[in-house]
Each structure stands twice: as C-alpha cells, then as structure tokens.
Amino acid sequence: MFEIKPYTRKELAYIYFPNSFTPKSACLSFRRLLEKCPKGIELKKTIQYKKHLSTPDVEAIVEIVGRP
C-alpha cells in the first residue's frame, strides 16, 4: 500500500515504475509521466533539483498523476 510521506526522487520513481531495470530508467519514465500533464510540467520545475521530496511534494504528485 502506498503511503504519502517523504521519499527520494529515485524511491518514488521506483514505486511508480517497479519493473524498471535501472534507477536512471525509472527516473526518466517518472519525468516523462510528469511531462504528460500540464500541471505536471509546473510541478517538475518546482521539484527539478530536489533529491528528497517532501510530503507536500509527494501529495502534489499524487494529486496530478494519481496513486501508483
């Protein structure tokens, strides 16, 4: 069960894309997922340089793209 809490970008990417072969591919897929939504593009700009995502960041991501 997915819990809204702080995650690293890599952890959250793996939660959304568990079948990825590498952390890099999971992160790229996660970035593309955010880019598909207009609100996701704005959010991507906000979290772009963050390694650790706060609880409000994770809430915003879930609101935009849905639960994994």
Q: What would the mean pLDDT of 21-37 be, rounded to a whole number? A: 91
Exposure on the CB side of residue 19, measured as CA atoms within 13 A: 1
Average pLDDT over residues 13-17: 95
Residue 54: strand, helix, or coil: coil
The pLDDT mean for the chain works out to: 91
* Per-residue model confidence (pLDDT) at position 17: 96
Instruction: Identify the pLDDT of residue 29.
Output: 94
What pLDDT score was predicted for residue 46? 83
Model confidence at 7: pLDDT above 90? yes
Tell me which H or E stretch contains 57: helix 55-65
**E runs forming strands in 1-68:** 7-8, 52-53
User: In the prediction, which pLDDT does 20 show?
Assistant: 94
The pLDDT, as a whole number, for residue 40 is: 83
